[in-house]
Each structure stands twice: as structure tokens, then as C-alpha cells.
Amino acid sequence: MGWNNWNAFGCAVSESLLLETAQKLVDSGLRDLGYNYVLLDDCWSDGRDENNMLRADEHKFPQGMGYVADQIHELGLLFGMYSSAGEMTCARYAGSLDYESYDAKAFASWGVDYLKYDNCYHLGRFGTPQISFDRYNVMWKALNATGRPILYSLCNWGEDYPHTWGMSIANSWRISGDIYDSFSRPDDLCSCNSPSDPHCVAPGTHCSVINIINKVTPYVDRGQPGGWNDLDMLEVGNGGMTDDEYVAHFSMWAALKSPLLLGNDIRELTAKSLTILNNPAIIAISQDPLGRSAFRVRRDTVDIPKDRYGVGEIQIWSGHLWGGDQLVIFLNAGGKEMEVTATLEDIFVGDGPEGSASQVHEAWDVYDLWANRMEESIGAELLNAGSETYEKVFNDANWYNSTALPYKEGLILQDKRLMGKKIEVVEADGTLKATVKKHAVRVFRLKSTGSHKFTRYSTQRDEFSDITRYDVAIAGTVVVNVKFLGQVFLATTVLAAGSNAPVAIVGINGTVPYLGLSTEIPRPPLVKTPSLPPQSLCVELVNLYFDYVHDQFHSLFHRPTFEQDLLKGKVPPVVLYALMALSARFSTNPVFATIDPRDRTSGYMKESERLLDLRDVSLTTIQACVLLGAICISEGNGYGECVYYSTACRMAMLLDLANRPISDGIEQEVNLRVWWSLWMIDTWTSDAMRLPKVLSKTDGIPLPMSETIYHSAHAGDKYESLVQKSSSESQCSLIAEMIKLNGILHQINKYNNKKVTAQNKGIPIEDEVDNLSRKLDEWEASIPEHMLDKPENLSYWASQGLGRIFTAVHFGHYHFGQLICYQFLHEDCHSSTPDRAHFYATKCKNYAARLCQLTYASHSTPGCDILYNMVGHVLVISSTVQIHTLLFSEDESQIQISRSRLEKNYELLTNLRQYWPTLDLCFARLRAFHNACLQSMDTSFRLDQWMLTFLSHFSTPVDDKCAEQWTIDEIETRL
């Protein structure tokens, strides 16, 4: 993406023109949308010096090309230049033919980042693909020899079928003659309309938008990450077309993955032209990480009203987008407004003929990428803003900035600015319909309404007979062995750092096969490690994860080591994406300004799931599964949570993770903490889903060491010495105490289940409440003084950076006490042993009171506030205990205290609700409990199957015990 001077200025080039344009790219916000290249076309040279080196015209460029490049680079832009693979350029200046080595060195010395290499005056060196390849291959080798990454763009006008060999040496290749500022006007200089035209013996010039689209149609798939079909510059803003035509022109170039090079005078752009060019939803199509061009699924020419040039056709285009989305374009090249329809069978024909594609049977949300765009433009404000004020205008309008948030990350986050406006849903096996004005387009992004994952790869005219190997051989190099038409070719692609485009592509077994016009050969996308967000954002999200999730949900990592690995780029992306999916909800970074905290998860999660390899039985896969399971439960997906956690547990058993011999102390402690995390998770999940535990044996497995010793450990420290140090310094582990409590929780859950089952069958069981309650009391009595729940201890642990873990330990203790004593809230009013029932009912209320007090204190103590999603479930249980006091107590002071706690709990739940979708379930459960109380105060607290589900099966919705239905607003009113 960038700007080229030729279409607007021709030979009227100068140093001032380039630098003024570069500044305008910045001031108009175009640079931050991705328009990064400033390209100088023909007419800049005045010949060669005595050493055969190209010279810049000192009148046009008085300070030289190196100065121009430096100035452009200082603005955060890239600099491109022009030459021709002929003895002269098209404007009859010195060409590079037979001087390739000299000129490549000159370009590299000036700091050039892009070379447009034209086709004029080639001394007859053309006529077959091999001859043209040989001519352009020389410059490719010369550029590579300089060592400077220079994007190599072939401009041979489609001559000698560059789509069959361009990928082997270049990053883009022109497929037609020069564009003309017209939508459909025919021109004798561009006489052929498609490659199948037998009279198409010359590429021509003055080609219209429709002419170029029709020419590229048969080989749109030849463009892949690293090399692209070039449809020539954009004419938007030059005045020869209507705004609707420019919208169509820009949209089609983006969909066909052509380089988006502005061919206008951006200093004189109109507000509407700027609004067309800065549509981030369309640019995101161009920059889509999948890198697949749209393909034409239908072209109707019969009974289509013709325009004044005799052109009349409707085209429907479809294309795969990253993340399972689908692009659909309705193009009206006729003479009047038309209604256009396409069935899902049409749209997904490339995935299976005659409706066999699975996507046909899905429902799809439809987003219009141009809806209200032109009417809600801030183009005028941007054009009127100067260098000092454009940024404010840009930020005030919440305009997309791909410098801060690359398009891939925006797509992962489902940034609304890239999605367009949702206009309808196309149901399964349905039809998409739209009215399209003449010489215009409608552009849609389709998003599946379900969680269906697609493995996409077009099968049209599949001429690959066998893909024998497809893997990464060395860093940055993709090797593909393909058996093609009976021969085996080896293609190697060298990828540029941080870019989708390769610096160059080595030939196929040293030769260039002539593929002729047998086109539309589908190829799988290049195998690449996915790009991650900017490191600063990764660091921020990792810090938020360790602050608000780690050691509260689970304990999977050694934070200092993880942070070092992050800076070195060593954290596996499958882990990092899942981690960020959990923590992004807490971020206040401006890149998330338009994204609801609860909506920031899905993109990161999908990327982690895409990278997850369940055949890789390793600690990394276990960690990823735990993170993905935590995401599932935060979304209310209990089944997904259970599957991921069970997988992680099985892998830990296969690896014998807790007993695995490792010399490094940190690694061994990480293994232990992961194992114990799985054991605790297994306790919660198995009990909640009424399934047997996967991990049950704990004999001989040591508990985690002190967090203080663990966090201060260094690589190479021996495990035994760390444990000895932890013991000798009488250091306590908060995680170890959490584990002990979870062992009691499992017994409490077993007892409550057994109690309800026996109660339903009328079978008496041994009362284990005294024993379980005593275990909780003994645990509290056993911990050191500095670990008790006291205000001074809360402050102490906060000062150690462990305030939230400390809070989580006691939060769990009080909740487990609620669970074992909860049945006595009912028995306090109905028991034949009132003293015992009253004792445990009071104890339940004390546990609930201490839980509330701890939660309030944690939120008023920096570094102690707990925001993980299970807090919502526990606060709901505690709130029902307060409701019991409101309903049955006669002590007015206790009633007032309980009412105050309910109000505070409601505030906390509302705050949590902004982060976690599962809080909707918590509110719904609270509603159901309210309704149960309204129906019958006498039975609402009885420990039956409904109450057991309410207390322990936190991922399961509970039905109302009565017919009354409440809305969320009603719940909030009643609270």
C-alpha cells in the first residue's frame, strides 16, 4: 500500500512533490491505515556517470536520492523508485537492461525499499515466458546480492504470462496494460477484454476497471502471501469516475489482493475520495492474513441493461477470509440499478459443488462494509487538519490505526471498525439479496453465527495431483514439494521479517515451468508462524494475566521466566494467544477502546485453538488446554471446559508430570504446580459436571514451595536446594494451602451429593457435617499467624505482590464453609434438633459475613482485588445467605447489615459482569433463587437436587421453581 506519482503527475516529479506528499500521507491518516510506500516513477534520472552509476537529476532532486529516502523514512514511511528492464525507460531516460548490478547497488545505497521495474525498450527480449523471465531474473539476482530487502514489482503489462512465473522472482507482477480513469469505457489501445480473446496479442494501455477485472479473473489464485497480481494503480480522486465507481474500483482491487497504490495528488483529494480510501473495513480485506483473493462465482450478461459504452453485466465474487469469514461482492457493471441475489450454494461453490459445502447449511451474519460510510465521513476534518492537529481529529473520530493495531490483531479482536455494519442474517441454505446501483458494488463480510470451524482450500480446477510435503525447513523458509502434472518441483520461499511478502523466491528446481493459460490452480497458504500483537501490548496483557488470573484460576508458569521468554520471543503462540484471551478484558489500552471487554476473547481464543496440536503431548499443550478451558468456563461453556481440562489431565498422566525427573528447580516446580492446578481444577469441574475425577492419587507428591522462594529462583537452581531454603526460612506456600482446602471441598461436595441422593430415596446416611466442619476449623488453626485473615496480613501479602492469592485462599475457605453449613439455613426453621441446626446456620452466616468483609477489604487494598469469574458464583451464594437473614431474622440491626451487603455484592457483581459473560448466568441464577423464595419461603433453602445444582454446579443453568419469568432489569430492580 502506498502512493505513486505517475498517474497524476507523469514526469513532473521533484523532491518537494515527494516530501509534501509523504507529509500529507501522515497528516491525512493514510500512513496509519497502511499506505506506507512513497514511490517515485519515471523521469527522475539524467543519465549515468563515468562509473556507469545512475545519477539523479540535480534540478529535480538537488539534495540527492539518499536525502529524499532519509526524509521519507523519518516519517515512518518507505521509499520506492522506478526503472525499466530495457535500454531506456518508458519516458526515454536511462534504463537498467545490462546494468542491473550497477543500478541495484545504487538503489540499495540510497535506502530504496521498493523497485518498480517496467518493460519499455527491451530490445526484443520477449516472446516466451522463459525469455521474459530471464530478463527480469537478472535484476532479481542483483537486488538480492545487495543484502537490502527491496520489494520487487514487475511491470511488464501482462506480457508473456507473468502469472505463471512472476512468483518465482518477484513480489508482484502486472497482469494488464496501464489503467485508465474510466469504469467501463472501451479503448482501441486496450482492445482485448480477457486472456481467452484470440486477438489479445498485446497488453495495451488505457484499460478500464472492468477490462482489468475480467483479465485477471482466470488467475486470481496466483496471488498468494509473498507475491501478488498487480492490477495497476488506484485512480480514486482523479476525477474520471463517479464516487460509486471509485468505491467499486477500490473494493475490487482490495478483494483481488492487488497492491493498493494511490495514483492521485493526495494534496488535492476531496473529502469523499479520502473517505473511500480510508475505509478500514475494505483495507482489512486487502490485508487479510489468509491472503486469498476472491474468485468470481458468476457473471451474468444476458438481459442486463447496458451502459452508454455497451457494457452490461452482473458479477458475483466470493472469497475466504481469515477466521472462517467469507467475503461476498455484488458488482453491477450494467446501465441501471439491479437487484442481485446469490444463494449460499453459489457463495460457497468453491468449497463443494451443488451445495455439498458444510457452510451452506450454516446461518451467517451479514455485515455491509460500506453502510453509511459516505454519509458519516470525517474526510473534510482530516483534510483541513494540519500536521499538528490531524492526530487529534483522527483520535476523536476513533479512526483505525494499523500502526498501533495491525489488521490481523484487529480481526482477532473483532474490532467493529473492520466489521462494517450488521444488516441481516442469512439462514442456513438461504439467499443473500441486495439492490446495487449502476456501476457500483455491495460488499459484505459474512460471519458464521455458530462455532463451526472451516478448513478452506478452493478445489476449482485442481491441477495439483499430490502435495507430498509441506513444512518449515529453516527459520523463515517454506519448502513445498508438489507433484505437478507428473513432475516434482521444489519451491523455496524466503520470507521477509515481519512481512507477508517474501524478499524473493527461488526458482522451481532451477527452472520456470510454463503453465500457459490453464488457470485457477489453487494452492494452500504458506506455512508461517502467526504474527503476534506489538510487543508492548503483549507485555501489558501478560502483566494483566499474572495480576488478575494466574494463581487464582490456576498456577501454570514461573512469572520471571515467562516474562523473560516473552521479551525473547520464546513463548509459544498457542499459549500466548490463550493467555491474552483471558486478560484482554482488563486492558485500558486505546487499541481496545471500541471493543466491549467481554468481546475481546474470541479472536485470540480462535487463534490459540487453531494452533493447538493435541498430538503434541507436552507441558505447552497442557498449559494451553488449561487456559482454553478457563476461557470456556468464563463464557459459560461447561462442556468445553470439561473437555479441555480432561485432555490436560490425561496428558499430565501420560507424562507423569508430577514425578518427571528434571534437574532445573524452576522447571520441576512448574511441573508440580501445573499438576496440582489440574488436581484442583479436576475437583471443581468433575463435581460440577457430576463426573468421576481424573486425577485422584496424591500420595508422595510434594506440595508447592513458598511463593517468595519460587519467584526469586533462577535458572539452574536445584529443586532440592530451593525446597530446603523454603523449609529453613519457615516460608509458607499460599498455593499449598489452597490445595489443602480443595481436598476438603471435594469431601464436602461428595457429602452434599450423597445427602441429596439418600434424601430422595429415604435412606438415612451418616452425618459427616461435624467432621468436615472440624477439618475447616483445624485448617484455619494450623496456619501461621501471618497467614490468618487479618487486615495487617492483607497489607503484608499485598506488599509482597501476593495480595490477590492471599485473598483467594481465604475466599475459598469461607465459601467451602458456606457449602457444608448451607443446608442448616432450612433446618434452622424446621429441624427436630434446633440447637444443632441453629449452630450450623449461624456458622453459615458467619462464613458468608467473613467472605463479604474480606471481599470488600480486598477491593479497598491495592493489589488485593480479586476479579476472576468464580467470584461471581461465590458472591451469589453469599448473597442468598443475606437474603435468608432478610426473610427470617427478627434482629433489625442484622437485617440492615444484610441489606447493605446485598447492595455491595450487587455492585461487585455488576462490576464483574463487564468482564465475564458467565456473570449473566450468575444473575440468572440469582433471579431463579428470588423466584423460589417468592413461591415458597419454607422450601427455598432446602438442600434438594435443585439447591445442589444451585450451590455447586456453577456452569449449569438452573430452572425457575415457578412460572414467573424475570428480565435482567427486573433482577436489578429487586436487588
Residue 307 pLDDT exceeds 80: yes
User: Percent of the chain beyond pLDDT 90?
Assistant: 61
State the amino acid at position 970 in one-letter form. E
pLDDT on residue 462: 31
Burial class (CB in 10 A: 0-12, 13-18, 19+), 292: buried
pLDDT on residue 388: 63
pLDDT on residue 760: 64
CA distance 2 to 15: 17
User: Percent of the chain beyond pLDDT 70?
Assistant: 84
CA distance 550 to 544: 9
Residue among 882, 879, 887 nearest 905 (CA): 879
Residue-wise pLDDT tens digits, 680-697: 999 888 877 778 888 877
Residue among 281, 302, 298, 230 nearest 260 (CA): 230
Residue-wise pLDDT tens digits, 91-146: 999 999 999 999 999 999 999 999 999 999 999 898 899 999 999 999 999 999 99
State the amino acid at position 236 in one-letter form. V
pLDDT on residue 924: 85
The mean-pLDDT minimum among 613-622, 703-712, 822-831 falls in 822-831
Residue-wise pLDDT tens digits, 808-851: 999 999 999 999 998 888 876 655 567 888 899 999 999 999 99
Higher-pLDDT residue of 509 and 532 is: 532
pLDDT on residue 758: 72
C-alpha cell at 860: 479497598
Number of neighbouring beta carbons within 10 Å of residue 807: 27
Please provide the average confidence, as pLDDT, over all residues in the chain. 85
- Which sign, positive or negative, has the C-alpha torsion 770, 773, 775, 781? negative
CA distance 764 to 746: 21
pLDDT on residue 638: 86
Residue 397 pLDDT exceeds 60: yes
State the amino acid at position 816 in one-letter form. F
Question: Where residue 263 falls among pLDDT bands split at 50, 70, 90?
Answer: very high
State the amino acid at position 308 in one-letter form. R
Q: What is the CA radius of gyration of the chain?
A: 33
Element of type H or E holding 271: helix 271-277
Question: Where residue 592 falls among pLDDT bands split at 50, 70, 90?
Answer: confident
CA distance 552 to 566: 21
Chain centroid to Cα 904, Å, comes to: 36
Order of strands, edge to edge, in the sheet holding 364-368? Answer: 295-300, 314-320, 326-332, 440-448, 364-368, 421-426
Element of type H or E holding 18: helix 15-27
Residue-wise pLDDT tens digits, 406-452: 898 888 888 999 999 999 999 999 999 999 999 999 999 999 987 44
Per-residue pLDDT, averaged over 281-287, amounts to 96
Per-residue pLDDT, averaged over 518-540, amounts to 55
The greatest distance separating any two alpha carbons of the chain, rounded to the nearest whole angstrom, comes to 113
Residue-wise pLDDT tens digits, 58-92: 999 999 999 999 999 999 999 999 999 999 999 99
- Report CA-CA distances (Å) from 623 to 542, 619, 673, 677, 678: 15, 6, 11, 10, 10
The mean-pLDDT minimum among 38-52, 442-456, 665-679, 780-794 falls in 442-456
pLDDT on residue 765: 64
Order of strands, edge to edge, in the sheet holding 477-484? Answer: 464-474, 477-484, 487-495, 502-505
- The domains of the chain, with CATH numbers, are 2-289+375-401 (3.20.20.70), 294-372+420-454 (2.60.40.1180), 535-720 (no CATH), 747-973 (no CATH)
Burial profile 426-451: b = 16 or more Cβ within 10 angstroms, e = fewer: beeebebebebbbbbbbbbbbbbeee
Question: Where residue 454 falls among pLDDT bands split at 50, 70, 90?
Answer: very low
pTM for the structure as a whole: 0.63
With vertex at residue 304, the alpha carbon angle to CA 301 and CA 310, rounded to the nearest 5 degrees, is 80
Cell 441489606 belongs to which residue? Answer: 899
pLDDT on residue 478: 33
pLDDT on residue 260: 98
CA distance 954 to 948: 10
Give the catalytic positions in this structure: 118, 178
Task: Give 207's Cβ-side CA count (13 Å radius).
Answer: 31
Higher-pLDDT residue of 323 and 307 is: 307
